[in-house]
Amino acid sequence: MSDRHHRHEHEHRRASPLHRLTHLLTPHSHGTADRLDSALESSARGMRALWVSLAVLGVTALAQAAVVVASGSVALLGDTVHNAADALTAVPLGIAFVLGRRAATRRFTYGYGRAEDLAGIAIVLTIAASAAFAGWTALDRLLDPRPVAHVPVVAVAALVGFAGNEWVARYRIRVGRDIGSAALVADGLHARTDGFTSLAVLLGAGGSALGWRYADPVVGLAITAAIAFVLRDAAREVFRRVMDAVDPALVDRAERALTAVPGVRGVGELRLRWIGHRLRAEVAVVVDGEATVREAHRVAVEAEHALLHAVPRLTAALVHADPEPVPGAADPHLALAHHAVR
């Protein structure tokens, strides 16, 4: 890490409590004027997305619940439960965004950004639970079919559900991708599936209006299948994030930025990892073996600066300078070889 980071930390520890509080609450960057995706701003955007979507889905679910009581539609019941569950996933995500804003400690040296990944797991479990409930309810009604009352009202409630969910899905996915939150994107996919299942409820209402007594439970089973598909996509997204997967295009972008830095003669090991919705990098660059410590450090600082500009949502980079190998000379890392994990 560069000297400016060490000076920054030292000055931060010497500062007054009021200065430290101001520093914590004020977004700041590493000299990039247009770097708007700071930790505080992205968390604030995530929180806004959660509260707005919670309100929209809450109103949608309440309206549908009233129709369920009047009509007895099991398909609409499954859709309503899914909408309510989708709204409640704002709770663990909100907690994760709040935790993610806390400063790192000597125990949690990388901060609390991983809470967002735990929230993603909670969302996946919520989707699984809603799928199980919708499937069980549909099977029960398939074995014991009952007529659906107030079919036109059920159709209107289904359209309301689709409109509310599609709006929330677009909003969550857009904000989630902007701030790099896999959990928020997964939640948006969840809402999108709710929208399409609402359209399935509309089909069930049409079948009931035509006198097909099994239309409602069959559509309920179709909803269960749709939830299972979104469960697969959301689980894959969250699993990749938990396993530190990144888009290979980001790695390519980082390599190109590093090789363009004057003094960098090669790029060795390069690692990127997500911590919540922020990226960190660790990289070894090859520099002139005859360079002084100060010269090698300058190259490392410029390499870090280039990465911060080139890689979206990257907030920190640890750059290690390796001397260019000399033919016939021993590898300076040879002493570390026996510590390698086998």
The rounded distance, in Å, linking the Cα atoms of 340 and 198 is: 54
**3-state DSSP percent of the chain in helix, strand and coil, to 5:** 65, 10, 25
Q: How confident is the model at residue 305 (pLDDT cuts 50, 70, 90)?
A: very high
State yes or no: pLDDT of 238 exceeds 80.
yes
Predicted confidence at residue 310, as pLDDT, reads 93
pTM of the model: 0.66
Predicted confidence at residue 16, as pLDDT, reads 46
Q: How confident is the model at residue 9 (pLDDT cuts 50, 70, 90)?
A: very low
Q: How confident is the model at residue 19 (pLDDT cuts 50, 70, 90)?
A: very low
User: Nearest-CA neighbor of 93 among 147, 141, 54, 139?
Assistant: 54
Predicted confidence at residue 146, as pLDDT, reads 62
What average pLDDT does the segment 237-264 reach?
91
**Cβ distance 142 to 204 under 8 Å?**
no
Measured at the CA of 313, the angle between CA 309 and CA 318, to 5 degrees, comes to: 70
